Every structure is written in C-alpha cells, then in structure tokens.
Amino acid sequence: MQTHTMHQDCERILLTEEQINSRVREIAEAVDRDYQGKNPLVVGILKGSIIFYADFVRRLTMPVELDFMAVSSYGSGTVSSGKLKIRKDLDRDVKGRDVIIVEDIIDSGFTLANLKALLMERGASSVRIATLLNKAARREYDIAPDYNCFYIENEFVIGYGLDYNEQYRHLPYIGVLKREVYEK
C-alpha cells in the first residue's frame, strides 16, 4: 500500500484515504438503492466536488447522466449579495429529471439553498443533495444534505477536491490547513 507523507501546509490529517473511500462507498450504495429504476442527472459542482464525484458515480449501478455546473457564491465570509452567479451552466435540461447535486462541502448553505431552488424552478421533478463534508455549525440557510459523508468542525480543510487559493485539490486525504498559511 502506498503511503503519503503529509503536505507541509497541513496541520493534521482529518480524514484518511481509507476513511473517505469506505464512507463514499456507503453513501453511494444508499443512493444506488434509492434511485433504482430511475435515470438521475448527477450534477457535480466544479471544481471542489470532482474527486468525490468521480469516486461516487463509479459506485452507481442504474443508468445515470453526468453534468456539471460552476457557480460563485458571495454567501460566506463576505456580505451576501443574495444572488448565486452561474459561471458554467448545465448542458442538459433538468425539466422532469431526478437531480442529484454533488458538492464538496456545505458551509453557510448559501450555494446549495440557491442551487436547489434554481433547479426546482427549472422544473426538476426532484432535487437531492449529496455532500462530502458538512460544517453544520456554520449553517445560515435552511438547507440540509440528503446524503452526507462526514460532519466536521469549523476548521478550514483542504484536499480530495477542496482548495485554498486553487492549491491542494489533488491531495488524496482531507487535512486541516495550517492557520499561518492563510493568515500571512
């Protein structure tokens, strides 16, 4: 088994590759059971969800279609503009579709609350959310994931798709970023 040395900007590893793999598998099996006989549109939110998305969809056994969106939110940290900016829209029409949104992390909930409302407004017959991480204590918007891999504390995490300044997305584990990296 290949071992990875921890990146020097990590304070500690929060979730190992093994922990992530087994939990993603459990979540995907639950989705697989719930959507048998359907043909869901699985929507990955770029770029943070890509690693989770790739591991997740490979566990599904029903017919699925893959699509992606890129959005920017002004919802967390700064004062919310109350609007989600779509930087890349879906290729497929969601009308009458069962949509599963795949996201890296739900923090304030701004992104997913807005996205879910938008897809419902466009006529999706159902919209559910699968998220890798859930910072439940940070929630400001009334939204909860239907499938959640891990609850985490209010710490800034990187790896397995998640970035700080576009760095660290490729790390195979989830680590806590050293404060000195973003405070300098």
Catalytic residue ranges: 107
Whole-angstrom Cα distance, residue 98 to residue 47?
Answer: 22
Q: Is 55 a residue that touches ligand IMP (CB under 6 A)?
A: no
Nearer to Mg ion, 35 or 55 (CB): 55
Which option in Mg ion, ligand IMP, none does residue 17 bind, with CB closer than 5 to 8 A by kind?
Answer: none
41 or 108: CB nearest ligand IMP: 108
Asked if 139 and 109 count as a contact pair (C-beta separation under 8 A), the reply is: yes
Nearest CA among 168, 161, 165, 174 for reference residue 68: 161
Stretch that binds ligand IMP, among 35-43, 60-68, 86-94, 97-105 (CB under 6 A): 97-105
Which segments within the chain are labelled E, that is strand? 10-15, 41-46, 65-72, 85-88, 98-106, 126-134, 147-151, 157-158, 174-177
108 part of the interface to ligand IMP, by CB under 6 A? yes
Using CB under 5 A, pick the residue from 48, 109, 145, 161 that binds Mg ion. 48
Least Å from the CB of residue 36 to ligand IMP: 29
Binding site for Mg ion (CB under 5 A): 48
